[in-house]
Amino acid sequence: MAETLFNKVWNAHRVRTLASGQTQLFIGLHLVHEVTSPQAFDMLRQQGLPVAFPERTVATIDHIVPTSSQKRPFLDMMAEEMTVALERNCRDFGIRLYLPDSDEQGIVHVIGPQLGLTQPGLTIACGDSHTSTHGAFGAIAMGIGTSQVRDVLASQCLAVEPLKVRRIDVNGQLRPGVFAKDVILTIIRRLGVQGGVGYAYEYGGSTLDRMTMDERMTICNMSIEGGARAGYVNPDDTTFAYLKGRKFAPSGAAWDKAVAWWRSIASDRDASYDDRVTLDAASIEPTVTWGINPGQAIGVTESIPADADAEALAYMGFTAKAPIRGTKIDVAFIGSCTNGRLSDIEEAARIVRGHKVSSHVKALMVPGSRAVAREAEKRGLHQVFIDAGFEWRGAGCSMCLAMNPDKLEGRQVCASSSNRNFKGRQGSPTGRTLLMSPAMVAAAAIAGEVVDVRTMLEAVPA
């Protein structure tokens, strides 16, 4: 019978169906970071349990790591204490850890793929909502809470509700100046922030087929913002080319065997879905959020809806029917697990090169990992940002969640390439976030206000 990738991978990892109706699912890869793991490790100690599969568990430090100086001990005492705690936990339980002084450290959802740990057909869990990123490789990847982190550490299993599958096809050619971030913001705008509850999203269509792995990761990363528990793309030659030669990817005969298995788990052509949605890529324009959730988004040439949510308008200090273009910004942030990869830095650099950041804007460029930073520096991209007046920072989550010194102050407005514009998300209880693509953030940094990046692209040689 024709099946979706979701069903094939789910069934291959099903241990049993629990009395609750949930599935006890074996987890192929457990990614751990410093924020959601300390209590989980404490619970293990209290119960005298080991980590069931330390070789399937990998840890990094990302949320709290300062990005201005990453010298140990960190000046931020809480960050230092949390780092020491994770070091101790990983040492005691035999888990591989990528510390800030390691060449491979970075945001958990950036380093997993980069190291080749993230592979098609895996089930992946991590104590962070944006674990859905890894679905770009054809994995079923889910964010979990601290008590589930404990469960996976202790048993390598998770009790989860089976999901329905919605196929989302995006077809056609994206127009210049329109990126994967605009696609996913448009999907969430159309289906709503609760539209994906109970679903896994399978993304496909000719636009997705042409996308790079970086772009597919941006799309899958924000599945959770549309309410979906997971989001994925079927593995194809683009996936395999990305993985080949990576540190933890199979090699030799094991590679050929793996590719054959990975091809076999892609959704069958005639698989049936619980729902289907289609979007025309050419109809998508650079997209900006105006409100307090990622679904409150509009094209940059549009105005805030006449029936805009009153709470969002009051928080943002915006008016219904007003244009988003021309909104003055105070901070520009390029980074995060959504858009902190090399291709994001390259796209932003195309806009920034030869320009200066507006005098009233503080601009941060924060690579998603040390490897991304190294590669960008090798290409001289860091100098493009520094010359323009950006601060070129060390790898980490930075201002995405602001659990580190990178925070908005007061009512500041931030043009951000991250994934959440919730109230207070970027460190100030009254701070305001406008989500957009890295190129749009770069354009806003230079103009000092929200602009249509396409007007600047006309001046940039291809």
> Which one among 419, 426, 433, 437 touches ligand SF4, defined by CB under 6 A?
419
Question: Which among 42, 144, 129, 31 has a CA at the least distance from the CA of 85?
Answer: 42
Q: How far is the CB of 452 from ligand SF4 (least distance, A)?
A: 26
Q: How far is the CB of 338 from ligand SF4 (least distance, A)?
A: 7
CA distance 120 to 6: 11
Q: How far is the CB of 340 from ligand SF4 (least distance, A)?
A: 7
Q: Report if residue 372 touches ligand SF4, rule: CB under 6 A.
A: no
Q: Report if residue 414 touches ligand SF4, rule: CB under 6 A.
A: no
Query: Which listed range, 4-12, 101-109, 233-241, 311-319, lies at the site for ligand SF4 (CB under 6 A)?
Result: 101-109
Q: Report if residue 400 touches ligand SF4, rule: CB under 6 A.
A: yes
Q: Report if residue 107 touches ligand SF4, rule: CB under 6 A.
A: yes
Nearer to ligand SF4, 207 or 218 (CB): 218
Nearer to ligand SF4, 107 or 180 (CB): 107
CA distance 439 to 417: 9
Q: How far is the CB of 450 from ligand SF4 (least distance, A)?
A: 22
Q: Is 72 helix (H, G, I), strand (E, B) or coil?
A: coil
CA distance 107 to 123: 19
Query: 330-359: which residues touch ligand SF4 (CB under 6 A)?
Result: 336-337
Question: Which among 136, 109, 135, 115 has a CA at the least distance from the CA of 123?
Answer: 135
Q: How far is the CB of 216 from ligand SF4 (least distance, A)?
A: 16
Q: Is 230 helix (H, G, I), strand (E, B) or coil?
A: strand
Cβ neighbours for 392, distance < 8 A, ≥ 6 positions apart: 365, 382, 385, 386
Q: How far is the CB of 95 from ligand SF4 (least distance, A)?
A: 18
The alpha carbon of residue 195 and the mean position of all alpha carbons in its chain are separated, in whole angstroms, by: 19
Q: How far is the CB of 101 from ligand SF4 (least distance, A)?
A: 19
> Which one among 109, 341, 355, 370 touches ligand SF4, defined by CB under 6 A?
109
Q: Is 172 left (phi over 0), alpha (psi -120 to 50) or beta?
A: left
Cβ neighbours for 191, distance < 8 A, ≥ 6 positions apart: 226, 277
> Which one among 128, 225, 344, 347 touches ligand SF4, defined by CB under 6 A?
128
Q: Are 196 and 202 in contact, with CB atoms under 8 Å apart?
A: no
Chain contacts with ligand SF4 (rule: CB under 6 A): 62-63, 107-109, 128, 130, 336-337, 397, 400-401, 418-419
